[in-house]
């Protein structure tokens, strides 16, 4: 399948399918129909069939989906079938919270170091992950095959630090600073901007309008 033909909306939904399929596997469920998956996920069965048909041949009429196979295939599409080394730049509250969250490793995201400008945290560890100083970045990134950098530093620093990271070889930025970095970096650098406050604002909207927010947006 030519990935360019898969719509962004489908790609956005894949992690959710992956999560539900992982839960099914944990519960020992090996086969599931689109109808049953629809009940669990509160997405229409036809939406599920349409989404999963993008990747061909996973479901059979009257037989349902092979959960393990589908989980593995979606994992491959999402690039979760190999480890991605990640660093966290900005070892404050958020950076340390991310480093403390072990479960990213289960999906193949291995945090190999944190970085900060504050000499007071130099050499400290979060779990077993060491905090390094920024002047070590240029060697550390190629030496440790770092692909992803999470940016958890002040907004004012985000652009200049991101540019340096890209120069040193980082290919993807998981950006928590409140600026939309994808508009500012070279096109071949992948950026995912995370704005928890936007999610809260959507919650607030739904609370205010008493809209049913339980059904996932299409
Ligand atoms: N996107 C979101 O949903 C979300 C949620 C919470 C916080 N944030 C943002 O994340 C950032 C971090 O928040 P926090 O609460 O952890 O702040 P914090 O002050 O606890 O940590 C920021 C850290 O960045 C370090 N730092 C400053 N300049 C740096 C530089 N040039 N290079 C490397 N490190 C540098 C500081 O020394 C500090 O340790 C802030 O920009 C905040 O607004 C975003």
CATH number at residue 8: 1.10.10.10
- Whether ligand 1 lies within 6 angstroms of the CB of 60 is answered as no
User: What mean pLDDT comes out for the span 10-14?
Assistant: 89
Joined together, the tokens standing for residue 177 give: 């600073």
Percent of the chain scoring above 70 in pLDDT: 90
Dist. CA 108 → ligand 1 center (Å):
24
- The answer to whether residues 58 and 116 belong to one domain is no
- The answer to whether residues 7 and 27 belong to one domain is yes
User: What mean pLDDT comes out for the span 87-99?
Assistant: 98
Give the number of the atom of ligand 1 that is nearest the alpha carbon of residue 96: 16
Question: Which CATH number covers residue 94?
Answer: 3.40.50.720
Q: Which domain holds residue 72?
A: 3-77
Binding-site residues for NAD(+), please? 90-95
> Which residue's CA lies nearest to atom 28 of ligand 1?
153
Q: State the complex-level ipTM.
A: 0.97
- The answer to whether residues 88 and 188 belong to one domain is yes
Indicate the residue among 77, 92, 112 that finishes a domain.
Answer: 77
- The answer to whether residues 114 and 60 belong to one domain is no
- Whether ligand 1 lies within 6 angstroms of the CB of 133 is answered as no
Residue 216 in domain = no
**Where does the pLDDT of residue 1 fall: very low under 50, low under 70, confident under 90, or very high at 90 and above?**
very low
Per-residue pLDDT at 87:
98
- Whether ligand 1 lies within 6 angstroms of the CB of 134 is answered as yes
CA 63: distance to chain centroid? 31
User: What mean pLDDT comes out for the span 145-169?
Assistant: 96
- The answer to whether residues 98 and 194 belong to one domain is yes
- The answer to whether residues 150 and 185 belong to one domain is yes
Indicate the residue among 61, 77, 93 that finishes a domain.
Answer: 77
- Whether ligand 1 lies within 6 angstroms of the CB of 127 is answered as no
Distance of alpha carbon 73 from alpha carbon 77, whole angstroms: 6
Percent of the chain scoring above 90 in pLDDT: 65
- Whether ligand 1 lies within 6 angstroms of the CB of 152 is answered as yes
Q: DSSP assignment, residue 180?
A: -
Dist. CA 92 → ligand 1 center (Å):
6
- The answer to whether residues 38 and 68 belong to one domain is yes
Q: Would you say residue 33 has pLDDT above 90?
A: no
Count of domains observed in the chain = 2
Q: Do the bridges between strand 172-175 and strand 146-151 make them parallel or antiparallel, or are there none, so unpaired?
A: parallel
CA 1: distance to chain centroid? 22
- The answer to whether residues 57 and 95 belong to one domain is no
- The answer to whether residues 29 and 131 belong to one domain is no
User: What mean pLDDT comes out for the span 139-143?
Assistant: 98
- The answer to whether residues 17 and 68 belong to one domain is yes
């Amino acid at each position: 399948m030519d990935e360019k033909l898969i719509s962004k909306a489908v790609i956005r939904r894949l992690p959710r399918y992956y999560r539900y399929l992982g839960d099914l596997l944990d519960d020992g469920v090996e086969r599931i129909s689109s109808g049953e998956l629809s009940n669990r996920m509160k997405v229409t069965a036809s939406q599920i069939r349409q989404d999963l048909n993008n990747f061909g041949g996973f479901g059979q009429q009257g037989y349902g989906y092979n959960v393990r196979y589908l989980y593995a295939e979606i994992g491959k599409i999402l690039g979760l079938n190999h480890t991605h080394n990640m660093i966290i730049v900005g070892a404050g509250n958020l950076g340390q919270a991310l480093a403390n969250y072990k479960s990213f490793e289960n999906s193949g995201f291995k945090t190999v170091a944190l970085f900060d400008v504050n000499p007071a945290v130099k050499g400290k560890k979060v779990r077993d992950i060491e905090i390094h100083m920024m002047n070590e970045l240029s060697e550390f990134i190629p030496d440790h095959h770092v692909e992803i950098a999470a940016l958890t530093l002040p907004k004012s620093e985000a652009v200049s630090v991101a540019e340096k990271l890209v120069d040193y070889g980082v290919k993807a930025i998981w950006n928590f600073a409140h600026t939309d970095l994808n508009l500012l970096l070279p096109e071949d650098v992948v950026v995912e901007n995370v704005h928890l406050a936007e999610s809260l604002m959507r919650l607030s909207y739904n609370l205010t309008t008493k809209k049913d927010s339980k059904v996932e947006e299409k």
